[in-house]
Structure formats: structure tokens, C-alpha cells
Amino acid sequence: MESEEHIVTAFDDELEKLTTLISQMSGLAEAQFAAVMKAVESRNDELAEQVRDGDKEIDDLEDQIEALAVKTIALRQPMANDLRSIVASMKTAADIERIGDYAKNIAKRTIVLNQVPRLPVTRSVMRMGQSVAEMMKDVFDAYLQGDAEKAIEVWEADEDVDNHYTSLFRELLTYMMEDPRHISPCTHLLFIAKNIERMGDLCTNVAETLYYREKGVRLSQTRPKGNSANQMLVEPDA
Amino acid sequence: MAAVEQVVQSEPGTGRVKMRGDNVRVYYGEKQALFDVNLDIYEREVTALIGPSGCGKSTFLRCLNRMNDVVEICRVEGSITMDGQDIYAKDVDPVHLRAQVGMVFQKPNPFPKSIYDNVAYGPRIHGLVSSKSQLDDLVEESLRKASIWEEVKDRLDAPGTGLSGGQQQRLCIARAIAVKPEVILMDEPCSALDPIATAKIEDLIHELRENYTIVIVTHSMQQAARVSQKTAFFHLGNLVEVGDTEKIFTNPEDERTQGYITGRFG
């Protein structure tokens, strides 16, 4: 990212350490998400429990990043791209921490879902998960490479996820209306889908943060948004 | 969003250009120290000049009140205007100009006189007052504006050189203010001061901005960031970049500016 080194080399070491921590943290979050999607797919309680318990490591990394960022700001009084880079680390760490929380929440719901028969609509949730997993990979790669153009691609890709979520929302409600016994598993699936959709939003946050870090200006246009499930009403046929 | 920006932006000055440098070139003998500098100084704003040693920032500052006139080998080309008037024009009296464009130096340099006389000296020689009571009022007003009145009001007859470094510097600012300047130039005014005295000067600069246009040369980037609305970065005799201070310190355009303010060269 930086072409030249600082006169104070310890400053470079600290910035590098921040990047390393973000890299570790994002790798862990990706792994957690991949594992939990696999747990949903294979109805694997043990794997889900691993994910649930693994979130702590991500939280610890966030604490480390925050502490190092605060220390660096206090001791180095960073300016310009250094300042943007450190602030970006803190914001991104917070976003990754949320992604980890959502993965953990999905893990808990998976353990519940595994107690009832599988619904076919699960497959659609999996597909949505794949899209977001790709966004996640792309945005973290872009973050570490300082690739602002790729950030824009991720930012735009979220529209598809929004649309996917909205159609899932409709589908799940239809299932519930068909048979009240579906209500409990469908509600869990709906939350899982919502969590995945939120993860996509967090990826766009990271993209925005990364863009600002690289360019010094905000991605100003409003993000293209898909159809919203917020205002949808699905009623049973009379 | 609008609310956020209001908080972040300090209130602007009048938006009027007070002084303007147009293709300013300065030579010390054969050696060229400034290359075609074009810089506008806005009224009732603080403009900070930053850059590594020898970049020309102090040279430019000294052009603004013709302090370079006293340097034998120094030659200034291009034009510098104040309120549209060429300050290098033949009919401009440099002494009068330096009352309008006051200066505060790196090392506090009070006269070896009483506190009162340090401030009264300028108004006396410029004939700004016609009575002792007027002079008393002007001395008090100047000391008050320089935020030092409370500390010295009971010992106005004591020598100015007996004050602490920070107090001496504020006394020098009072001395500059006493002759009713429009612009105040400050050449690293805090470099000899401790952090508390520095904070007091910075606080004072903030207050002075309501009435004066201020140009400050500083080696402390944090200080430039704290006190100024505009920042100009000089390098090797060139004005590399000038802009809103917030912009310069968060997102400078030029790589040299970025390299300097982030500590990559200097």
C-alpha cells in the first residue's frame, strides 16, 4: 500500500502489524462462515458447535486491533493516508467482528434446525450464502491489496443479495402459510437468511472503508439497493 | 450529513483575499530560494506554511512585510499585494507596512524595557495616540487581546525580559497588536515554548483570528493542523500544494505533501 517507508521505522512495524491482524481476523471470519454454511448443508451439530465456540478468537483479535490502533494514534499522531489506514483498521475490525457474530448466530440456529426435517428451501439459503461468501473473499482480498476498484464491484454486488433475500422472504412466508408446522424451522431459516444478508451489508461497509482509505473521498453515490423485504406483505389466498 | 459537516468545519473567514503572492521569485545572490509562488492569504483566517528546513516557507513569510529588504543580497521578483495594492511599490514605506503587517519571531524578543514600554513603543513612534490616557488604554487593550493582561497588570513597570518565555511571546504579540496591524506574521512562535505556553499561544491565535489575518510558519504539523484553516506546503522553493487544512492533513493531493506530513521524508 505504502510506496515509501517512514523515517521512524517502528511506525511501519505498527502499521504492518495492524494489516497482519486484519488479515488474520478476516481469514478467521471467512473460515467461520464457510464452516457454518457447511454445517447447515450437512446438518452437522458438531461443526456448528465449533463455529459457536470459535467466535471468541475473532472477538479477541478485534480487541487487539483496537488497542494497537489507539496506541498508534496516540504515539505517532498519524496524518493523511496513515491516519485513514488506521481508522480503516478499526472500522473494519468492528465490521468483521459483527460478521463473526452472525456466523455464530447461524451456528446456534443450525443446531435447532437439525432437530426437525430439512426443508427444500434450505438450498436457496445456501445459494445466498455462497454469493455472500464470494463477496467476503473479494472484499478482504481487495482490502489487503488496496484495490479500490474491486471494492466498488463488491459494493455493487450486494444488490443481488438483497434481491435474493427478498425472494427468500416471500418463499419462507409461503411455506409457513402452507403448514403451521413449518413456522418454527422457517423462522430460523429466515433469521439465517437475514444474518447472511446483513453479512453482505457489512462487506459493503468494508468496501466503503477501503475505498475511503485508498482515495481519501467517500463513495458518495447511494448504493444500488435491491427490492426490499421491509415493505412486503404476503397474505394467504382467500 | 449537513450537521456533521457543520461540526467539522471551523467557521470560515470573510472569504476575501487579504494578501496575494503572484509568481513570487526570491534570490539570495545567485541562489534562487523561491520559484514562482502563487499564494492567496485569506482575510481573518490562519494560513500555515509548512515544509522541511530550507523549503522557502520563512523566505515567503518575510516577503509579506518586506523583511527581506534588510538582507543585502536578497532580490524579490513577481508581485505581492495587500488589498490589491503592491507592497513593493516605490511609494510604500516599509516601516509603515511593517506596522500593518506585524511579525512575531521564533525566539521571544522583548525590548530591554518595561512591559508597558514594550507595548507603548510602537504606538508612540507611529503617532497613534495623542495623550497619556489614550496610550494607557491602548496598552491595556493590546495586553488584553494578547491574553496576558491579568498576569502583568500589577507590574507594568517590570522589565519585559523578566517574564517567562511564554509570557514574553505573548508580550511580543501584544506589541505587534498595539500598532493596529491587519496581518500578523508568526515565524515558529512556539518552538522555544513548553506545551502549556504553546497551548496558550494557540488559544490566542484562535481568538486573534476574529480580527486579524494570520500567517504562521511552523515545524509542528500538529500545530499547523490545530491552528490553521489553510495550509500551504513548500518544498525546495516551490509551493507544492495549498488547501483547506483538513484536506491537506487527511487527503493531500500531491505525493510530496503526503510523504512529508506522514513522516516519510523531511
Chain B nearest C-alpha distance from A4 (Å): 7
- State the SS3 of A76-87: HCCCHHHHHHHH
- Between β-strands B213-217 and B183-187, what pairing exists: parallel, antiparallel or unpaired? parallel
What pLDDT digit, counting tens, does each position of B20-68 carry? 999 999 999 999 999 999 999 999 999 999 999 999 999 999 999 999 8
- State the SS3 of B192-221: CCCHHHHHHHHHHHHHHCCCCEEEEECCCH
| pLDDT in the model for residue B2 | 42
What pLDDT digit, counting tens, does each position of B59-107 carry? 999 999 999 888 889 999 999 999 999 999 999 999 999 999 999 999 9
Grid coordinates standing for B231?
Answer: 495550509
Q: Is there a domain that residue A135 lies in?
A: yes
How far apart are the C-alpha atoms of A144 and A167, rounded to whole Å?
33
Query: Coil, strand or helix: which one is B103?
Result: strand
Could you say which residues of chain A have pLDDT below 70?
1-3, 220-223, 227, 237-238
CB A113 within 8 A of CB A183: no
CATH of residue A136: 1.20.58.220
Q: Is there a domain that residue A136 lies in?
A: yes
Q: Could A79 and B264 be called an inter-chain contact, meaning their C-beta atoms sit closer than 8 Å?
A: no
Q: Is there a domain that residue A223 lies in?
A: no
Task: Report residue B121: phi and psi, to 5°.
Answer: -55, -50
Say whether residue A74 is in contact with chain B using an 8 A CB cutoff: no
How far apart are the C-alpha atoms of B51 and B57, rounded to whole Å?
7
Helices B165-178 & B132-145 angle (0-180, nearest 10) = 130
User: B223, B264, B222, B261: which is closest to B241 by C-alpha?
Assistant: B261
Q: Determine which helix (DSSP H) or strand (DSSP E) holds B183, and give its type and residue range.
A: strand B183-187
**DSSP line for B159-173:** BGGGS-HHHHHHHHH
Kindly list the structural domains of chain B, giving each domain's residue range(s) and its CATH number in brackets, ordered by start: 2-261 (3.40.50.300)
| pLDDT in the model for residue A231 | 76
In the block, cell 426437525 appears at A116
Q: Is there a domain that residue A174 lies in?
A: yes
What pLDDT digit, counting tens, does each position of A163-217 carry? 999 999 999 999 999 999 999 999 999 999 999 999 999 999 999 999 999 999 9
Say whether residue A216 is in contact with chain B using an 8 A CB cutoff: yes
Among chain B, residues having any CB pair with chain A shorter than 8 Å are 221-222, 225, 249-252, 257-259, 261-266
Q: Is there a domain that residue A18 lies in?
A: yes
Number of domains in chain A: 1
Q: Is the pLDDT of residue B185 over 60?
A: yes
How far apart are the C-alpha atoms of A26 and B23, rounded to whole Å?
52
Q: Could B249 and A11 be called an inter-chain contact, meaning their C-beta atoms sit closer than 8 Å?
A: no
Half-sphere exposure at residue A154, Cβ-oriented, CA atoms within 13 angstroms: 31
Grid coordinates standing for A137?
Answer: 473473499
- Band (pLDDT 50/70/90 cuts) for residue B193 is confident
Please report which residue ranges of chain B form alpha helices under DSSP H: 2-8, 57-63, 94-100, 115-125, 132-145, 149-152, 165-178, 195-208, 221-227, 245-250, 255-261
Point out which residues pair with B232 in neighbouring strands.
Answer: B49, B242
Domain carrying residue A61: 9-215
Contacts of B88 (CB under 8 A, 6+ apart): B66, B76, B79, B80
Contacts of A37 (CB under 8 A, 6+ apart): A106, A126, A129, A130, A133
- Band (pLDDT 50/70/90 cuts) for residue B11 is low
Say whether residue A79 is in contact with chain B using an 8 A CB cutoff: yes
Say whether residue A13 is in contact with chain B using an 8 A CB cutoff: no
Q: Is the pLDDT of residue B3 over 90?
A: no
Q: How many CB atoms lie within 10 A of CB B54?
A: 13
Grid coordinates standing for B123?
Answer: 504606538
- Closest alpha carbon within chain B to A84: B250
Inter-chain Cβ pairs, chain A and chain B, closer than 8 A: 44
| pLDDT in the model for residue B7 | 44
Q: How many CB atoms lie within 10 A of CB A119?
A: 17
| pLDDT in the model for residue B1 | 37
How far apart are the C-alpha atoms of A57 and A97, rounded to whole Å?
10
Grid coordinates standing for A2?
Answer: 505504502
| pLDDT in the model for residue A126 | 95
Query: Coil, strand or helix: which one is A196?
Result: helix
| pLDDT in the model for residue A54 | 95
- Residues of chain B found within 8 Å of residue A84, distances taken between Cβ atoms: 250-251
How far apart are the C-alpha atoms of A187 and A177, rounded to whole Å?
12
| pLDDT in the model for residue A234 | 74
How far apart are the C-alpha atoms of B183 and B165, rounded to whole Å?
23
Q: Is there a domain that residue A187 lies in?
A: yes
Q: Is there a domain that residue A35 lies in?
A: yes
